[in-house]
Amino acid sequence: MKQKLISLTMLCLLISCVPAWAQQKKPIKVEIEKINAGYTIKRGGKPYFIKGAGGTSYIDRLARKGGNSIRTWSTDGAKQILDQAQQLGLTVTMGIRMGVERHGFDYNNPIAVQEQLARVRKEIMQFKDHPALLAWGIGNELNLHYSNPKVWDAVNEVAQMIHDVDPNHLVTTMLAGINQKEIDLIKEKCPALDLLSVQVYGGLAAVPAQIKAVGWEKPYMVTEWGPTGHWEGLQTPWKASIEESSSEKAEVYQSRYEASIAKDRQCVGSYVFLWGQKQERTPIWYGVFTEAGEENEVVDVMEYLWTGKYPKNKAPHIQALTLDRRQAKDMIYLTPNKTYPLHAVVNDPDNDKLTTRWELLPESTDLKEGGDREARPKTIDGLVKQRDVDKATLTAPEKEGAYRIFVYITDGKNKVATANIPFYVGEPAQHGQAEPGAIHSLYTFSSIASWADEFDQNGMPDTSKWSYDVGSPYNGWGNNELQYYTEANNENVQVSNGVLKITAQKSTSLDMPYTSTRLLSKGKGDFLYGRFETRAKVPHGRGTWPAVWMLPSEWKYGGWPNSGEIDILEHVGYDQDVVHISTHSKAYHHSINTQKTAKTKLSATVDDFHLYRIDWTPDYIKGFVDDVEIFHFANEKTGFEAWPFDQKFHWLINLAIGGNWGGAEGIDETIFPAVFEVDYVRVYPLLDQ
């Protein structure tokens, strides 16, 4: 009896040591409360800000580092995930798998929609009372490559069903990016949603402004955010995306989080991506862990953002990686079988002894969208020779093609720095830049311009070549821009000394706070294919957004983005020395983070003129800055959704102020008047083949 009493006493003591959340067997009520400055989640009556991560790997580490929630993409393995989260004091936003158009689901099929609803209801009933559950996430990026708005009717039907059977948890849906069309549809069709979830990468800092601009007044959370996306940064001529190092990623994770999630009171928290590892373009692009479970510098940053403190042992910091004394942005071509030096500039904050491993992979060809599963390329062994902790040599493969060299530098304490460089084995003219399905034709252009404006007559722009867009319609030209475009006003536009000057001024008499000019050649210069060239100097100052670009003259396939857009030069003042070339179409545009784009860094963009050009043919659009190719988009031959560029387009030249992109980091009021200068625009026709 005495032994039984001792055992019973010990059991009671153990139970008393288990936290309240672990003893909880009933659902914990979660609701949204509006506060003066925004919104907050109340969980069990207490404020709850989501410090979460996407993924179910290493969640014990997440709890130790100050995270409080995880996010899944389906209910696969849900019980085990929920139970483990409960034991660790974490919550779960549980994903609900929904059919997507790009995988063949038809929302015009009422039987399929009702079968999906019935399946989802079973999942909800199974897990709705778990104490670790925080919210339900209906689908993932259902707006990616879709056309049928009935998907939002199905989302609302699921959301209403959840509220009927589960009154204790929040319901949301996850969107790829933020755009007016989808927000308007969701506001109209999905009143049962408690909050919105958005997924953005390079544009995270602009999310608070975009949320307000599109008129979303309920709370929101960011359910995916992380490094600069593979679709957002610089690409090589052979279409390999250039990836940030782990240290560069750590820097942008912190700066973008602090500029948005940390300070926007309409935001109720976020899930950083990816708390784990996956192959997506590369094995290290999105995961903050390696395949061996090593933690990179992003993990240290997240611990700081969640707790205000860095860990005692920090990850190595990589400053640079070079191949043949060149960086990734130098677009490296190598000769087969020739040996080249590799060098990593790295240091460890704790002075730990570092070890290095290198890996050579062929460039991935199993490229998917929306995070769909990709196959990892197979390692090529025997071509890298280690020389020192920071040095090695690479013998270029014998076979022509695209490759990528990776470096992993570890501190012996499970911390790692990573970086990689894409390179091409072979001659630049032989690398076959076009994407699969494209026709590899050789195109030539006339050396004589068929249409041009040299801006050599002082006064107003030539009215035989240029007209004006006037005003500020469509919510600031669809981008929440803050300028009013005037017509033939010498305060905003003039030609002098052989240069077109568009000047943005502060406004005192119009509804908008600034005035500027937008010229267009529609009806006076409309073109199908050719070489389009301009020499320009961008203005200085945060808040400016100059562009030389092209739009369709007839909108054959419908409104933007269906009929396309070609951006020959875009620049935003807060990123002073970086210029962009892009194309947009129904399948590939910035509103859903799929645009085809490239950027490059220049010196003295505000002091010197630079040459910008696109070569537009039936098979591809290439983009050049100072005669260096930085952009290539091939005709996939899949229809107008991807390639509407078989109709006539016209020039536009303008200087915008503010807007979703140009104003993402505010406007410096001291920069005005701001001047965008264009030396000339020229069109060289495509020659008959």
Residue type, 93: T
Cα distance between residue 649 and residue 680, in whole Å: 18
Q: For residue 475, which phi and psi values (nearest 5 degrees)?
A: 55, 55
pLDDT by 10-residue block (mean), the chain, 689 residues: 43 40 74 93 98 96 98 96 97 97 92 97 97 98 90 98 98 92 94 96 88 92 94 83 95 93 96 96 96 97 98 97 92 95 97 97 88 90 96 97 98 98 83 39 84 96 97 88 95 96 89 94 97 96 97 94 96 92 91 84 82 94 90 88 96 96 92 97 87
Pair (260, 359) in one structural domain: no
Pair (128, 267) in one structural domain: yes
DSSP helix/strand/coil, 278 = coil
- 6 occurs within a structural domain: no
Pair (225, 356) in one structural domain: no
Cα distance between residue 581 and residue 548, in whole Å: 10
**The predicted structure's pLDDT at residue 314:** 98
Which residues on neighbouring strands pair with residue 282, listed in sequence order?
280
**The predicted structure's pLDDT at residue 657:** 97
What are the C-alpha distances in Å from 536 to residues 63, 224, 608, 615, 675? 52, 37, 8, 17, 11
b/e burial code for range 608-618 (CB count within 10 A of at least 16 → b): ebbebbbbbbe
Pair (268, 356) in one structural domain: no
- 523 occurs within a structural domain: yes
Pair (83, 112) in one structural domain: yes
Q: Which domain holds residue 629?
A: 451-687
Query: Do residues 205 and 256 touch, judged by C-beta distance below 8 A?
Result: yes
Last residue of a domain, one of 284, 307, 330: 307
Pair (537, 628) in one structural domain: yes
- 619 occurs within a structural domain: yes
Residue (of 402, 401, 360) closest to 383 by Cα position: 360
Pair (395, 463) in one structural domain: no
Pair (516, 470) in one structural domain: yes
Active-site residue set: 565, 570
Q: Which DSSP string corresponds to 659-682?
A: STTTTTT---TTS-SEEEEEEEEE
Pair (232, 348) in one structural domain: no
Q: How many CB atoms lie within 10 A of CB 191?
A: 10
Residue (of 84, 41, 63, 378) closest to 195 by Cα position: 41
Sequence-ordered list of residues with C-beta below 8 angstroms from that of 629, at least 6 positions apart, any chain: 237, 331, 622, 623
Beta strands 518-520 and 649-657 are antiparallel
Residue the block writes with tokens 């070890």: 355
Beta strands 339-347 and 355-362 are unpaired
Domain count, the chain: 3
Which residues on neighbouring strands pair with residue 220, listed in sequence order?
196, 267
Pair (455, 339) in one structural domain: no
- 384 occurs within a structural domain: yes
What CATH number has the domain bearing residue 52? 3.20.20.80
Pair (404, 486) in one structural domain: no
Quick one: tokens of 78? 């849900």
Q: How many CB atoms lie within 10 A of CB 313?
A: 16
- 312 occurs within a structural domain: no
Pair (180, 158) in one structural domain: yes
Query: Do residues 613 and 603 touch, judged by C-beta distance below 8 A?
Result: no
Sequence-ordered list of residues with C-beta below 8 angstroms from that of 67, at least 6 positions apart, any chain: 51, 52, 53, 90, 275, 302, 306
308: left (phi over 0), alpha (psi -120 to 50) or beta: left
Q: How many CB atoms lie within 10 A of CB 590?
A: 21
**The predicted structure's pLDDT at residue 442:** 64
- 13 occurs within a structural domain: no
- 26 occurs within a structural domain: no
Query: Do residues 344 and 328 touch, judged by C-beta distance below 8 A?
Result: no
**The predicted structure's pLDDT at residue 689:** 52
- 421 occurs within a structural domain: yes
